Structure 1
Amino acid sequence: MAVEGGAKCVKYLLFFFNFIFWLCGLALIVLGILVYIAFRNTAVIKGSFGPAIFIIVVGVIIFFIAFLGCCGACNENHCMVTTFAVFLSLIIICEIAVAIVGYVFRGKLSAVLDQNFKDAIAGYNTSEDLKKAIDDLQKELKCCGANSSDDWVNFNASRNSVPDSCCKNETRNCGIGAIHDGNKIYINGCQSTVEKLLNRSMLWIAVGALVIAFIQITGIVLACILTRAIRSGYEVM
């Protein structure tokens, strides 16, 4: 028995909100890819790809759950709509947990970056992966070292040289003896730039999460109303 009256309006509203929710899932996938590309430049930081991968996974889950909600609303399927509401509730709980962890981590970001940069610089001459990551980072962000070029004081025995990736015009051995030569190399460190990049990415994630959370709560309310209407229809039959 098809729902009528106000319940029918709720049915179409639920379909509409699920379509918006489906678009949000798609947007999260795109955002995750963009964040992944942005974080690729900070690969020197351990686990820097984690947030991007998490966003993509959440986007995929939302994408399919929204599809389930759309199908349930169109077919007036009690089981599908109920399952949709349950999954949506679980996602909101997970999002709250992640938001708490993110807020706690935000205060420790500077210390984490500082330690990871120290480890990366210390391992520059012994690890090809770290060397490539730091060189790519310094060239991309036009910076040198963590806080300044002085961080490379132990780069070699002369204690006055930096990697060639610090040079404004990179050529072979251009960093030799140039640790304080502002005309030849970038003096400013990379850490503050990376921190700003990560904070900006986290801000966009937070804004996106708030928008999606509003849609999720609306979807849950509409799903509960439609589920009740469908059940009432079955009882009448």
Structure 2
Amino acid sequence: QGVLSNISSITDLGGFDPVWLFLVVGGVMFILGFAGCIGALRENTFLLKFFSVFLGIIFFLELTAGVLAFVFKDWIKDQLYFFINNNIRAYRDDIDLQNLIDFTQEYWQCCGAFGADDWNLNIYFNCTDSNASRERCGVPFSCCTKDPAEDVINTQCGYDARQKPEVDQQIVIYTKGCVPQFEKWLQDNLTIVAGVFIGIALLQIFGICLAQNLVSDIEAVRASW
């Protein structure tokens, strides 16, 4: 909950704590699973219809979200940029948040939202003359290119990195931003991502069809009594 509570303070959600989102999603999944399981075991048509309708609503919402994400992809890109830059400002404020940012930059092999200079937003890494920090004009170690021969992480590898010419920077640190790298990852793995979403959609449709079929069978048996 520590990192989630810190995320709530940097995402401009008006005090909304994202942990409540996880609680709501967990509660919905429990209710949906309970209705489907008990409805099938006890041959309760009300619970089965509830399960079917609720699953259909979730499928419709997911489909709507996918369409809106495609239509408003530029807005989503701006929000992602805003989110990452707010993370950069708060980098040293919480160790869990710091670990989250470091993991993201190492995994995507990126630095900042659109480039390493985005770290000027952080009071410890900005290049202003008034900055007395040893990390001035540098970047976190997670921005550094990795040497396979190194077994121990050099946490000071990003010191003074942005004082070097851009050609030399590319040798020491990742110069591409996390937003472009995320877009590139989506393009490279579009088939896998689409396959996952289609698979989830098919499972939901399959669940709806099974529930409706079971309701029909139960009602047919009861009608013959």
TM-score, normalisation: structure 1: 0.61
Whether the aligned pair in 1 keeps the contact of 2:36 and 2:47 (CA below 8 Å) is no
Match of 2:172 in 1: 184
Cα pair distance change 1:49/1:166, threshold 3 Å: farther
Aligned residue among 96, 102, 105 for 2:60: 96
Change (3 A) 1:140 1:52: farther
- Segments of structure 2 that go 5 or more residues without pairing to the other structure are 12-16, 129-135, 147-152
Query: Which protein has greater RCO, CA pairs closer than 8 Å, 6+ apart?
Result: 1
CA deviation after TM superposition for structure 1 residue 210, in Å? 2.1
Tell me how far 1:115 sits from its aligned partner: 0.7
SS in 1 for 2:161: coil
* Conserved? CA contact 2:85–2:112, under 8 Å: no
Q: Report the CA distance shift for 1:226/1:204 in structure 2 as closer, same or farther (over 3 A).
A: same
Distance 1:51 1:212 in 2: 23
CA apart distance, 1:90: 2.3
Aligned residues, how many? 187
**Which secondary structure does the structure 1 equivalent of 2:216 belong to?**
helix
1:120 match: 87
Shift of 1:136: 2.1
What is the aligned partner in structure 2 of residue 87 from structure 1? 51
Residue 68, structure 1, aligned to residue 35, structure 2: no
- Whichever of the two has the greater Rg, that structure is 1
Q: Which whole-Å CA distance do the structure 1 matches of 2:178 and 2:68 have between them?
A: 23
Task: Summarize the alignment of residues 8-87 of structure 1 with structure 2, pairs less than 5 Å apart.
Answer: 46=11, 60-72=30-42, 77=43, 80-87=44-51
Q: Which residue of 2 aligns with 1:35?
A: none
Q: 2:210 aligns with which of 205, 211, 219?
A: 219
Distance in 2 (CA, whole Å) between partners of 1:204 and 1:58 is: 25
User: Residue by residue, what CA displacement relative to the aligned partner does 1:105-126 show, whole Å, maximum 9, x if unpaired?
Assistant: 4533212211101111122244
**Of 163, 183, 193, which residue of structure 1 is paired with 2:181?**
193
